[in-house]
Chains A and B, each alone.
Chain A
Amino acid sequence: MFDTLDFAQDILTQQTNPVQSGTDVGASSLNRQHLTAIVSYQHLTDGWDEDGAIAPSHATVLSALDIALLLTATGHLVYHTSPGPVGEVMINLRNGDKSVELLAYPGGRNKFVCIAPSEVPRQGPLTPESLRETLQWLNR
């Protein structure tokens, strides 16, 4: 059975040769550290923040990795990632003053959040449709 986490770990352990690849400044190169960070969240344990935070489950890390790999494959740069207190993983994208958070939550309750000055903030379930609309809004 295909495992995204194994796949990502395999990719991330391979050294990229910029001369050979010719794509060293693309999203795949720039997102590499964020993909590595998401993979590392599998090693967190409950109480990792010394304040009762729940560790992300294997399934949640996989879900976050799926989102990050999709963003990478479509050329979107990840600004930041972070685990959260209730077992979630946050993937943050920015464009100027606009901020999008894609949140992988336990149980597959994934969400998006859009924040921009002078616009009403929005959040909702993360679906293929809402992801497409969210990225279009971010890049507008």
Chain B
Amino acid sequence: MNTTPVADDEQLYRSIYRTPWHKYVDPDGRPTSRNFKLPPKDADKLSVDCFSLTTPEQSVRDLAKFALASIANNEVKAIELSTFYDPCTVAEHGFDNPAHAYIWGLAEEDDIKPALLAQKAVIVLS
């Protein structure tokens, strides 16, 4: 695990899968708790990008398949989660993403913090 913390005032981007017929956001166009639930592949951490090191367009990669949510890192820290840089490199991951970071501290059985994260997040690109 990288030990460089993300600054409190950083904004974090998280991609949200969508299809033309299903947006996977709520009727008000806001993220849902399921957008912040731990995925099985990452086990105990949630993948995000740091606003100051990327652009919304770079972060979302494919706007036909993903929308982009944004949340302030101080909101993440307010519910006792931590964010650490974890840049992706071609050598290790097969692609380059210097803005990549992980939110740590979510538990598999926790469905409260994903809901709290969703309440504080907004869609910035869709």
List the interface of chain A (C-beta within 8 A of B): 37, 48-54, 79-80, 82-86, 88, 90, 92, 99, 101, 103, 111, 113, 115, 121-123
B26 adjacent to A111 (CB under 8 Å): no
5 contacts between A and B (CB under 8 A): A53-B17, A80-B32, A84-B34, A86-B38, A115-B119
Smallest Cβ-Cβ distance to A54: which chain B residue = B40
Task: How many A-B residue pairs have C-beta atoms within 8 angstroms? Tell me.
Answer: 68
For B40, give its contact among A79, A85, A103, A115 (CB under 8 Å).
A85
> For B38, what are the chain A residues with a Cβ–Cβ distance below 8 Å?
85-86
In the complex, A82 Cα to B41 Cα: how many Å? 19
> For A50, what are the chain B residues with a Cβ–Cβ distance below 8 Å?
17, 65
Given contacts A113-B115, A121-B112, contact A82 B17 (CB under 8 A): no
B115 adjacent to A121 (CB under 8 Å): yes
Q: A85-B34, A99-B115 known; 9 other A-B pairs, CB under 8 Å?
A: A37-B22, A53-B39, A84-B33, A86-B108, A88-B37, A113-B115, A115-B116, A121-B115, A123-B111
The secondary structure that dominates the B interface is loop
Chain B interface residue number, banded: 20 to 34
CB contacts under 8 Å to A, within B1-60, are 15, 17, 22, 24, 26-27, 32-34, 37-41
Interface centre among A53, A82, A99 (most CB of B within 10 A): A82
Given contacts A82-B24, A85-B34, A92-B32, contact A51 B115 (CB under 8 A): no
In the complex, A50 Cα to B62 Cα: how many Å? 11
A101 adjacent to B24 (CB under 8 Å): no
Question: Nearest Cβ distance between residue A32 and chain B, in whole angstroms?
Answer: 14
In the complex, A79 Cα to B32 Cα: how many Å? 12
Smallest Cβ-Cβ distance to B108: which chain A residue = A86
Interface centre among B24, B27, B110, B112 (most CB of A within 10 A): B112
Interface centre among B22, B34, B41 (most CB of A within 10 A): B34
B104-123: contact bitstring with A at CB < 8 Å (1 yes, 0 no)?
00001011100110010000
> For A84, what are the chain B residues with a Cβ–Cβ distance below 8 Å?
33-34, 37
> For A54, what are the chain B residues with a Cβ–Cβ distance below 8 Å?
40
For A90, give its contact among B33, B39, B119 (CB under 8 Å).
B33
